[in-house]
Amino acid sequence: MANTALITGASSGMGVEFARYHASKGGDLIITARREAELQKLKSELETKHGVTVHVVALDLGASGGAEALYKAVQETGETIKILINNAGFGGHGVHIERELSREHAMIDLNIKAVVSLTHMIGNDLVKSGGGKMLHVSSTAGFMPGPMQAVYFASKAFVTSFSQAIDQELRGRGVTSTALCPGGVATEFLETANLENTPMGKGSASFATAESCAKHGYDAMMKGTLVTVNQKSYSFFLNWIVPFMPRRRALKMIAGMQSDG
């Protein structure tokens, strides 16, 4: 298969839209997530509509050995990955010490450890095959601390930083790495993170669609953009307002946005 993409978290939200957009360009796919029924439905849709080949790997990427199991499954397909989209991740709402520690650890395992592992394993293959593209789905949350979502915000700060460093290390060897940092996107994230009753959740009507955000990120990846924010208003806020705010004021503002109303 030429131009094969591996997409994690492909059973819903932006993961589905990344897969649809890639397939629309004639690219084959390996899609992975925990929910096999949703993956099989997407496989059928894409193969029927676009005539591409789609491999399904249903597993828990955040579980111990999950990334290694995925990589083994990828190797067993015999296909050469040219695009890696690290999309899988989740958030969690609440005071850190009041949340279950196991959930915080699970967030780190998926949002950070799995990203690092797949980037290492697939990155080596991309270099050996002559080059390729990586897209790491981060968040505007990575530009600031996040009281009431402390671990999630910190995990996305890691992803944004990590992605840029990987780009610098591998660009000269034919591999680019792009960090996509969306603002609000209409996906399952708010429900999963229990944020529906917060000011952030109540403002979800203004969120970007998963389709538009995925297209923005994919196109930026193909151009080799280092870091991209999908909405100009968020970019302006993050680059020209937040950095100049007193730190305590910024922390209170962010906490307020994520506190139950």
Active site residues: 152
* DSSP secondary structure letter of residue 195: -
Q: How far apart are CA 30 and CA 141, in angstroms?
A: 28
| Cβ neighbours for 150, distance < 8 A, ≥ 6 positions apart | 96
Contact criterion met (CB below 8 Å) for 88 and 70: no
The CA distance from 222 to 123, in Å, is 16
| 116 φ, ψ (degrees, to nearest 5) | -65, -45
CA dist 219 → 27, 90, 93, 142, 257 (Å):
14, 23, 31, 21, 30
